[in-house]
Amino acid sequence: MASPGPIYCGVDVGASTTKIVIVDEGGTIVGADVCKSGVDYQAAARTGLEATLAAAWLGEERICATFATGYGRRNVDFAGETRTEIACHGAGCYHYFPHPITIVDIGGQDNKIIRLDKSGKRLSFKMNRKCAAGTGAFLEEIAVRLDLDIGDLDRLASSAEKTVHLSSFCTVFAKTEILSHIRRGESPGDIVKGAFQSVVNRVLEMETFEGAVVLTGGVAAHNSIVAQLMGAALEREVLVPPEPQITGALGAALLARENNR
């Protein structure tokens, strides 16, 4: 339950899911929701907002400001302003880790790498949108090829006895390569772990990583093995926010609060 006073809303409309976060004046999350974006981003945002408000026992009139971000941010008709995904993921991660960090956001359609200094100011960012390899879409295609539910991938990979190497980063070619592994009798779990390792390799080739690394996004939220594999490759712990899938929406809400002040 939110304390009396103003509240602020952040909406992150991604290609796959829409995330809503409401924070109070102190920056504490008082409500959040994740729903499928579908084909009507405006309707998804409205549905998510209503669900969030209802669960938190809040009225929409309490919201002082709403910022939208993400792929469909311009479709949120109740948002006063929009902000880039880079700014919002930066603000959301810095909220939990207020020191120099490199943020890795693995989304459904793209990957983002954002470097922040000790004050939370952005130093640089990179984005991969050229190919689905290394994203959530890549993992979804792998699940389809192996006739698995996407929710089973993390469990299978975590119990795998070995990692089947996938030489191709391309989603199309990787699916063909997987057929060869199946024909040779490789287990689904070992193949899935290889797919996760491929995602990690794809991300790591985008940037030189120094210092603390923070992993966010839906892939991180549902697949803890990604942080483990990335940590093993970097030879240090990879940090993960409490709810990595809603970090962008949290950042949008925090930026709305700061702007209102």
Per-position pLDDT tens, the chain of length 261: 556 789 999 999 998 899 999 999 999 999 999 999 999 999 999 999 999 999 999 999 999 999 999 999 999 999 999 999 999 999 999 999 999 999 999 877 788 999 999 999 999 999 875 555 567 777 888 888 888 888 888 998 999 889 988 765 566 666 678 878 878 888 888 988 988 898 898 889 888 898 899 999 988 999 999 999 999 999 999 999 999 999 999 999 999 999 987
The rounded distance, in Å, linking the Cα atoms of 93 and 50 is: 25
Residue 206's pLDDT is 87
Backbone torsions φ then ψ of 260, nearest 5 degrees? -65, -30
The answer to whether the CB of 128 falls within 8 A of the CB of 206 is yes
Residue 105 near residue 230, CB atoms below 8 Å = no
Distance CA 196, CA 187 (A): 15
C-alpha dihedral over 189, 195, 196, 197, to 10 degrees? 110
Q: Which domains does the chain have, with CATH numbers?
A: 7-88+246-260 (3.30.420.40), 99-240 (3.30.420.40)
State the pLDDT at residue 250: 98
Distance CA 34, CA 51 (A): 9
- Read off the pTM: 0.89
CA 150 to chain centroid:
16
Helix (H, G, I), strand (E, B) or coil at 119: coil
Burial of 211: CB neighbours in 10 Å, binned 0-12, 13-18, 19+: exposed
